[in-house]
Amino acid sequence: MSERVALSLQVNGAAVDRDVEPRLTLADFLRNALQLTGTHLGCEHGVCGACTVLVDGEAVRSCLLFAAQAQGRSITTIEGLAEGADLHPLQRALLERNGLQCGFCTPGVLMTAMEFLDNASGPTRDEIRKALSGTICRCTGYQGMVDAIAEIAGVDR
């Protein structure tokens, strides 16, 4: 596995150029090459959603994508969400609504919700639940997450 491919992409707004093994997953590239360990791996077969990042604004499972497939793309990870000391409003809402416990699924939930909120207008709570259904949380029972997303989406009930 000595063959390597040149990779250029944007990660959280910064240009990144690296040579990578063709079989390196995007998740491992972010976590190991770039030390962006906020993207977590819960199943490595595309079910749990913990590794979700935004690729050109679209929520994608980084365990199912090779790093090389992200050539020329713009990636946003959990580390790109807060602006310095200021949490993103969705992060703040999740904290206030008891929407996390162990924090392992949280980055994937946030990135999933970011894409949803970008595209949804006046969603119902059922639609919020559906949007979250690709991210597994074993701690919270999802209630605080639904409340937080509803708050940001301006949903009353």
Min dist. Cβ of residue 136 to another protein (A): 6
- State yes or no: residue 129 binds another protein (CB under 8 A): yes
Q: Which of 3-11, 64-72, 74-82, 116-124 is the region at the interface with another protein (rule: CB under 8 A)?
A: 74-82
CB 62 within 8 A of CB 25: yes
H or E stretch covering 32: none
Q: Give CA–CA dist 140/144, Å, rounded.
A: 7
Q: Considering only residues 49-68, where is the footprint of another protein by CB under 8 A?
A: 50
Min dist. Cβ of residue 34 to another protein (A): 12
Joined together, the tokens standing for residue 132 give 């979250």
- State yes or no: residue 33 binds another protein (CB under 8 A): no
Residue of 26, 67, 77, 123 interacting with another protein (CB under 8 A): 77
Residue of 101, 151, 152, 155 interacting with another protein (CB under 8 A): 101
Helices (H) and strands (E) in the chain, counts: 5, 5
- Measured in degrees and rounded to the nearest 5, phi and psi for residue 30 equal -65, -45
- State yes or no: residue 22 binds another protein (CB under 8 A): no
- State yes or no: residue 130 binds another protein (CB under 8 A): yes
Joined together, the tokens standing for residue 71 give 């050539």
Q: Sheet harboring 52-55: ordered strands across?
A: 14-20, 5-11, 74-76, 52-55, 58-61
Q: List contacts with another protein (CB under 8 A).
A: 1, 21, 23-24, 31, 36-45, 47-48, 50, 77-79, 81-82, 87, 91, 94-95, 98, 100-107, 110, 128-130, 132-146
